[in-house]
Amino acid sequence: MKQRKVPVEEALGMILPHDMTKIVPNQFKGPAFRKGHVVRAEDIPELQKMGKAHLFALELEPGEIHEDDAGLRIAQAAAGRNVHTSVPKESRVNLISASRGLLQVNVAALLALNELDDVVFSCLSNRTPVEAGELLAGTKVIPLVVPEETVRDAESICAGLGKIVEVIPYQGLKAGIVVTGGEVYHQQIADAFGPVLREKLESYGASVLPLVYAPDDAEVIAQKIDDLAGQGAELILVSGGMSVDPDDVTPQGIRRSGAQIEKYGAPVLPGAMFLLAYKGDIPIIGMPACGMFFRITVLDLILPRLFTGERLGRADMVALAHGGLCRNCPQCRYPRCSFGQGGIQR
């Protein structure tokens, strides 16, 4: 790039290489025009009022790209499904969620992009639950002008390795709940667990079948699971009876239903006695009592993934150990916290 001194009235369409400061005594002092601003016709009278008779305007050489154009092209190359881009500001372009769902980050492409000289791309952690309109990522280039080859390299990475960020919307699954425990089954106490789980499932758009109750009997629990599957349940939660107490037979009931257990015991606190199994394609969750007493548990790390259609295995459960400790803050901010936000690996 090069800079050229030109009369201000001839600067139309030229790029400012630095901030232009405006001072109004006792009222204002700050940039009236930012670095990288393209001079418009309506700017010229204002520049003249600021005492600018000449400008040092930026001129691009062949093969060079201005920071705003570079940032926008990189953002558009990186944006996947349900992601839109903002207008550039000092080369930074934000990537915004267009849907409620689960953020998916292509880690290999993210790291490759940031290996490029003069390119920065920063995003939320992989598998963060997000809302429509939420900021997902930001990207920019470091200098005011970059070689077009740098931008083409960034675009090639996204074309070859895939988009960097996308949002997978939640599916409206049909769900069933089996509440276990003789004291609830025989109506000795009111059920406090089932309504909590129903509300959580409905928050993801689930259609929840009428709650089902079972005593501490593995055969009955298995039959209730079979009944819900026969009613078309695509996800089944079985609450209570998940400890190692001999009276807690929920894991046996899940197993006797024909479900294959992926993992009993999760490296997440709260939620250590969590169980994940599959009966064919139907996820079966054994939910410990912590789900009744804690606002956020291991269930909140699992449900978003199940509601996007992901099938989880033992390795996925083991991986939750990194970031699986809830700090139990007095004012919960999940998912804007460290819970479930394990680090990425090359």
For residues 276 and 191, membership in a common domain is answered with yes
For residues 136 and 262, membership in a common domain is answered with no
Which of the listed residues 59, 76, 104 is the one where a domain comes to its end? 59
For residues 136 and 191, membership in a common domain is answered with no
pLDDT at 206 over 90: yes
For residues 153 and 83, membership in a common domain is answered with yes
CA distances to 94, 109, 134, 163, 286 from 88, in Å: 8, 22, 17, 19, 47
Give the span between the Cα atoms of 217 and 248, in whole angstroms: 9
Tokens of 211: 């709650």
Specify if 206 maps to a domain.
yes
Q: Which amino acid is at 144?
A: L
For residues 8 and 99, membership in a common domain is answered with no
pLDDT at 99: 97
Specify if 284 maps to a domain.
yes
For residues 68 and 144, membership in a common domain is answered with yes
pLDDT at 91: 75
Domain CATH code at residue 187: 3.40.980.10
pTM of the model as a whole:
0.85
Q: What are phi and psi of 286, to 5 degrees?
A: -95, 115
Query: Angle at CA 270, nearest 5°, toward 301 and 101?
Result: 15
Domain CATH code at residue 10: 3.90.105.10
**Which pLDDT tens digit goes with each residue over 174-190?**
999 999 999 999 999 99
Mean pLDDT of 244-262: 91
Specify if 332 maps to a domain.
no
pLDDT at 346: 44
Number of structural domains (the chain) is: 3
For residues 239 and 158, membership in a common domain is answered with no
Which of the listed residues 169, 199, 216 is the one where a domain comes to its end? 169
**Which pLDDT tens digit goes with each residue over 295-342?**
999 999 999 999 999 999 999 999 999 999 999 999 999 999 999 998
Q: Which amino acid is at 134?
A: E
For residues 185 and 315, membership in a common domain is answered with yes
Specify if 339 maps to a domain.
no
- Domain, as residue range, for 276: 174-319
